[in-house]
Amino acid sequence: MPQRYAYGYVRVSTHDQEEISPDSQEKLLREYAKKNNIIILKIFCELGVSGRKADKRPEFQEMIASAKSKEHPVDTILVWKYSRFARNQEESIVYKSLLKKQNNVDVISVSEPLVDGPFGSLIERIIEWMDEYYSIRLSGEVFRGMKENAMRGSYQARPPLGYRIQEHGKPPVIVPEEARIIKIIFEKYVNENSNFFDIARYLNSLGFKTSHNKPFERRSIEYILQNPTYCGMIRWNRTKNDTNEIKDRSEWIIADGEHEAIITKELFDKAQERYKHNYTPKGARPAATYKHWLSGLLKCPDCGRTLTACTKYRRNGDSYSYFSCFGYSKGKCPKPNGISSMVLEKDVLSNLQNVIDTGNIDFELRHFEPVEIVNVRAILKERLKGIAVKEERIKASYREGIDTLDEYKDNKKLLLKERDDIERQLSELADGNSDNTQDATAAILQKVSNVYAIVSSDQYTNTRKNAALRQIIDKIVYNRQTNTLKVFYILYRS
Ligand SMILES: [Zn+2]
C-alpha cells in the first residue's frame, strides 16, 4: 500500500452511550494509521467547547480548510466513528462527498466498515444528489449574497495605494500618480525578476511613498503584488475579523469588482505564479518544506525537467539536499542525474567567483517589452520642481518671521541634499542609457558580485538567496556523465 498522509479528528460527544476518551480515540487512530501505512500529520481535537461554541467546531473548520487547500496536504481524514466527524447524517454526507469530489480526500472511520454492495452504491447516488443540491445552493443565492455584501464592505473600506474613494458607497477611482507606482512594482517583479527588496529600494530612490506616506519596505511590496484589486477584482474573507490573522488561501473568495483595473489580469497572474513558485513551500509535508537556495534552477541535461530536491541526513545528523530528475523516478527520463547539494553549492559558488575574478561571462541579454513605459527621468524632474517650490516656501517663512534663521538654514540644507541626490540620479540615467554590449557586460558583472555576496553569506534565507540567483541565472545544467556544470547567465533589460 502506498504511503498516505492524514489528519486525525477527535471529538467527544456527550450524547453518545458508548463514549471513549479523547486519548483512547487518538490511540485507535494512530494504531490504524500504523497498520495501513498512513502518516498522521496532525490530530485536530475538539475539546472543552460547550454551548454555542460547540456548534462552530473551530478545530473541525480549521482541519477542513487545510484539507481543501491547493497544496493537498493529506489524502485522508481519520475518525474513530463517522458520528465524530459530523453531528448528523446530512452534514456527514455533504462534507464527505465534497472532500472526495473536490479534493480527493477520503474520510475513514477506523471502527466502522466501508459500505459495499448495492446498499453502498445507493448511498453513493444519494451523496451525489445531495452534493448537487448543496452546490447549487452554495453557488447560487448564498454566493451572490456574500458577494454583494462584500462588495459593499470592500468599497467602504479604505482603498489601497493607487485608488481613492470619490463618492461614498461607489467603487474607488484610480489616482494616476499612485497607479504608476503599482505598474512599476508589477513590471519589475514579473519582467525584470526583481525581488521585493530591490523594488522597495528603487521606489524609495525615486521618492515614492506608501499609502501611509512611509518609505516602501519588503512587506509593502509583497502585499501589493498579491492584491487582486489592481487587476479589477475584489477579495474578501482573507483575514479573520477579530484577530486580522490571514486565513488559508482556500478560504479566500475572489470575484470581479466594479472598479477600473490598473494592471492587466495577465500581468497579475504572472506575478502570482512567480510568487507561488518562490515563496510557498510545496505542500505541508516535512520533506518538501525544506527548500534549497538552488531549488528550481537546476535542469536535467537529458529531458530538461527541473531537478527536485529531497532532504537527506548524514551520519552526524547534518541534513543536505539531494537533487535528481523527477522524470527518472516516473520512468520518463533515462538517467537520474542526481547530485548532492554539498557538491553543487561549491561548484556554483566557484563558478560565480570565477566570473568575478576573470570578468569572462557568457550570457543571454533578454529584452522585455514594458507594458507601460515608466519615465524615470520625468519623475525625477517633477521632484526637482517640487523642491523649487519648497525652497520658495521656506524663504517666505523666514521673511515673514515664522522660521528663525537657524531653522531656515537647516531646512535649506535638507532640500539641497535632496536636490543633489536627484541630480546625481539624473546624471546616472544619462550614463546608463546606451545599450551596447560593453555596458551589458559591466552591468551583469556588477550583478554577479552582488549576488555572490548574498549567496555566500549565511545571513540570508534560502528564499532570498534563490531570488537573488534568479536575477542573473536562467538555469543550471549538471551533467553527471561528464561531471560538468553549466551556468546559463542572463541579463534582463527593458
Ligand atoms: Zn531527466
**CA–centroid distance, residue 486 to ligand 1 (Å):** 16
**CA–centroid distance, residue 334 to ligand 1 (Å):** 7
Q: What percent of the chain has pLDDT over 90?
A: 21
pLDDT at 186: 93
Q: Can you give the three-state secondary structure of 370-385, one letter per residue?
A: CCCCCCHHHHHHHHHH
pLDDT at 377: 78
Q: Which residue has the higher pLDDT, 351 or 463?
A: 351
CB 333 within 8 A of CB 325: yes
- Which residue type does 294 have? L
> Among 73-87, 260-274, 277-291, 323-337, which is the least confidently predicted range?
277-291
**CA–centroid distance, residue 335 to ligand 1 (Å):** 6
Residues 232 and 311 in one domain: no
**CA–centroid distance, residue 299 to ligand 1 (Å):** 8
- pLDDT category at 116 given cuts 50, 70, 90 is low
* Among 224-228, 241-245, 247-251, 323-327, the range of highest mean pLDDT: 224-228
| Strands 163-164, 173-174: pairing kind | antiparallel
If one counts every other C-beta atom within 10 angstroms of the C-beta of residue 329, the result is 11
- Which residue type does 449 have? S
Would you say residue 301 lies in a domain? yes
Q: Would the pLDDT of 406 be above 80? A: yes
Backbone angles phi, psi at 238, to 5 degrees: -85, -35
Supply the DSSP symbol for 231: G
**CA–centroid distance, residue 307 to ligand 1 (Å):** 8
- pLDDT category at 53 given cuts 50, 70, 90 is very low
**Residue owning grid cell 522597495:** 200
Select from 279, 302, 326 the last residue of a domain: 279
* Among 127-136, 206-215, 352-361, 368-377, the range of highest mean pLDDT: 352-361
CA distance 462 to 134: 44
pLDDT at 315: 82
Would you say residue 254 lies in a domain? yes
Cβ neighbors of 46 (< 8 A, separation 6 or more) are 9, 10, 11, 12, 54, 57, 58, 59, 60
Residues 272 and 298 in one domain: no
Q: Would the pLDDT of 349 be above 90? A: yes
Residues 479 and 357 in one domain: yes
| Residues forming a β-bridge with 42 | 7
Would you say residue 211 lies in a domain? yes
Q: Would the pLDDT of 480 be above 60? A: yes
CA distance 492 to 494: 7
Q: Would the pLDDT of 77 be above 90? A: yes
Supply the DSSP symbol for 481: T
Q: Count structural domains, the chain.
A: 4
- pLDDT category at 136 given cuts 50, 70, 90 is low
Would you say residue 94 lies in a domain? yes
**CA–centroid distance, residue 304 to ligand 1 (Å):** 6
CB 181 within 8 A of CB 210: no
pLDDT at 286: 35
CA distance 299 to 67: 32
Residues 470 and 338 in one domain: yes
Q: Which residue has the higher pLDDT, 171 or 252?
A: 171
pLDDT at 51: 41
Using one digit for the tens of pLDDT, what is the confidence trace for 263-322? 999 899 989 888 877 654 444 333 334 468 898 889 999 888 888 888 888 888 788 889
From edge to edge, which strands make up the β-sheet containing 473-479?
Answer: 298-299, 473-479, 484-493, 363-367
If one counts every other C-beta atom within 10 angstroms of the C-beta of residue 79, the result is 25
Residues 241 and 297 in one domain: no
> Among 66-75, 230-239, 240-249, which is the least confidently predicted range?
240-249
Residues 478 and 421 in one domain: no
Q: Which residue has the higher pLDDT, 16 or 481?
A: 481
CB 259 within 8 A of CB 173: yes
Per-position b or e across 354-378, b if 16+ CB within 10 A of its CB: ebeeeeebebeeeeeeeeeebeeee
**CA–centroid distance, residue 490 to ligand 1 (Å):** 23
CB 354 within 8 A of CB 487: no
pLDDT at 285: 35
Using one digit for the tens of pLDDT, what is the confidence trace for 179-207? 989 999 998 888 877 888 889 988 888 88
Using one digit for the tens of pLDDT, what is the confidence trace for 5-29? 999 998 876 555 556 788 888 999 9
Query: For the domain that residue 26 is a member of, what is the CATH number?
Result: 3.40.50.1390
CA distance 80 to 25: 6
Residues 461 and 345 in one domain: yes
Packed helices 196-205 and 176-191: angle between N→C axes, nearest 10 degrees: 140
Residues 96 and 11 in one domain: yes
**CA–centroid distance, residue 329 to ligand 1 (Å):** 9
Q: What is the mean pLDDT of residues 51-60?
A: 64
CA distance 313 to 287: 12
Supply the DSSP symbol for 240: -
Would you say residue 140 lies in a domain? no
Mean pLDDT across the chain: 80
Residues 44 and 167 in one domain: no
Using one digit for the tens of pLDDT, what is the confidence trace for 371-404? 455 677 777 888 888 889 889 989 998 888 888 8
Q: Would the pLDDT of 35 be above 70? A: yes
Which residues keep their CB under 5 angstroms from ion ligand 1?
300, 302-303, 305, 325, 327, 333
Domain containing residue 380: 376-430
CB 66 within 8 A of CB 41: no
If one counts every other C-beta atom within 10 angstroms of the C-beta of residue 450, the result is 14
pLDDT at 147: 60
Residues 383 and 364 in one domain: no
Q: Would the pLDDT of 158 be above 80? A: no
